[in-house]
A and B are shown apart, each in its own frame.
Chain A
Amino acid sequence: NAGVTQTPKFQVLKTGQSMTLQCAQDMNHEYMSWYRQDPGMGLRLIHYSVGAGITDQGEVPNGYNVSRSTTEDFPLRLLSAAPSQTSVYFCACRPRAGRGSLDGYTFGSGTRLTVV
């Protein structure tokens, strides 16, 4: 089982360029999310999706777009890259569950993005 696959693993962009970070999961999980990790700040939620066709903003959504056309894929788009978006990006997914139940989050291995 591949779990959660993120591509690319590394990327360098120039300011103003656009790109898409890919996230694919093969576990048929409904919930997918994108986080960014910056030194001393833990991970912060960018966008999330509770199922195909449904997305919503997280804590730090500005400068990013997402879409969820299939259960498997949840791409993150940078519209016009800025140096402040230099970070490590993680995709995570989990199955839908009822209130109070155990939820296992599975994380991808991350994409390290540098914007110069």
Chain B
Amino acid sequence: AQSVTQLDSHVSVSEGTPVLLRCNYSSSYSPSLFWYVQHPNKGLQLLLKYTSAATLVKGINGFEAEFKKSETSFHLTKPSAHMSDAAEYFCVVTADTGRRALTFGSGTRLQVQP
């Protein structure tokens, strides 16, 4: 079994300040973890992914995430928010099994204030 908990449903930051979106996971298997972003009325775009290589993962648009097995966390960060970062972000886990279905967190809506 696997699950994902996104600890904040809404996060609001000012432009130019750091972003932290928190994610905790549980999995019976060695997990692969992803962050996806969804802009309004759009599909989902992959930001970054962790698959048991380096624990610090760099993604697109300046985002990165660190896999911490001891804390079962995979928090998403960005040093300086941009207005275009305003969107909904999903933390996703998939197990290293035959089916490899995705389990989504409930999402975090990021607002960026000017």
Contact = CB atoms under 8 A, between A and B. Distances in A.
Interface string A30-51: 0101010000111111001010
Contacts of B11: none
B106 A40 contact: yes
A100 B51 contact: yes
Nearest to B90: A42
Interface residues of A, number: 26
B46 A44 contact: no
Contacts of B45: 107
A108 B9 CA distance: 24
B76 to A, nearest CB: 15
Interface of B: 4, 9, 30, 32, 34, 36, 42-46, 49, 51-52, 90, 94, 96, 99-102, 104-107
29 contacts: A31-B100, A33-B101, A33-B102, A35-B102, A40-B106, A42-B4, A42-B105, A42-B106, A43-B90, A43-B102, A45-B101, A45-B102, A48-B101, A90-B43, A90-B44, A92-B44, A99-B96, A100-B30, A100-B51, A100-B96, A102-B49, A102-B51, A103-B32, A103-B94, A104-B46, A107-B44, A107-B45, A108-B43, A109-B43
